[in-house]
């Protein structure tokens, strides 16, 4: 995505240039974060973190790639960092009070049944979360960001053949994860 920004003005701290950058790229950053993380609230928080990192690190931008590519890479790094943090918490275990669970069940029973499409999205997100980070990232960049193999390889800093392999394994793993749901209404 080409953005008409004055990089020097951005580096000089021009707020209008930074606002243009944020307004141009925040929908893509949010979308990518959501698809990699699977949680809207966390994705919104990560989007803010990405643009804080961009603001703090703009002096490090060398201009060897598009600014959007640089922001995309920061987004991928922030998402990976977040996923690693979640995985560390999973290993330690998380205590959830019983009152919270029962209030959530009560809330669910009082609300309307979720739409079939929402259920499909939840099942898919759960399956995506089971993929290894690099497979999930390649899959999301290809399917949700509509990037080519070359662009994905550049963003993930791996070879094109590695991307082909990651996408093949991601599809195979997703198919295996989704097999139990084939007979459901989904």
11-55 pLDDT, tens digit each:
888 888 899 999 999 999 998 888 888 888 999 999 999 999 999
Range of the domain at 70: 1-94
CA distance 155 to 86: 23
Looking at the structure, tell me whether residues 87 and 117 fall in a common domain.
no
Q: How far apart are CA 24 and CA 94, in angstroms?
A: 38
More confident residue, 152 or 121: 152
- pLDDT at residue 104 greater than cutoff 70: no
Please give the backbone phi and psi of residue 62, each rounded to the nearest 5 degrees, phi first.
Answer: -90, -15
Q: Measured between alpha carbons, how far is 61 from 78 in angstroms, rounded to an integer?
A: 17
63, part of any domain: yes
Q: Domain end: 94, 127, 142, which one?
A: 94
Q: In whole angstroms, what is the distance from residue 41 CA to residue 117 CA?
A: 20
Does residue 80 share a domain with residue 6?
yes
* Domain termination residue (choose one: 36, 66, 94): 94
């Amino acid at each position: 995505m080409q953005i008409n920004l004055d990089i020097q003005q951005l580096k000089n701290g021009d707020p209008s240039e930074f606002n243009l950058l944020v307004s141009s790229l925040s929908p893509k950053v949010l979308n990518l974060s959501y698809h990699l993380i699977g949680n809207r609230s966390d994705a919104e928080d990560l989007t803010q973190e990405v643009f804080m990192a961009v603001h703090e690190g703009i002096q490090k931008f060398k201009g060897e790639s598009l600014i959007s590519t640089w922001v995309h890479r920061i987004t991928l790094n922030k998402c990976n960092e977040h996923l690693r943090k979640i995985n560390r918490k999973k290993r330690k275990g998380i205590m959830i009070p019983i009152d919270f669970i029962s209030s959530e069940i009560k809330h669910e029973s009082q609300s309307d049944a979720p739409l079939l499409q929402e259920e499909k999205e939840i099942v898919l997100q759960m399956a995506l979360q089971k993929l290894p980070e690099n497979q999930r990232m390649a899959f999301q960049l290809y399917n949700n960001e509509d990037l080519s193999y070359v662009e994905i390889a550049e963003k993930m800093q791996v070879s094109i053949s590695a991307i082909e392999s990651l996408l093949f394994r991601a599809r195979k793993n997703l198919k295996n994860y989704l097999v139990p749901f084939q007979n459901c209404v989904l």
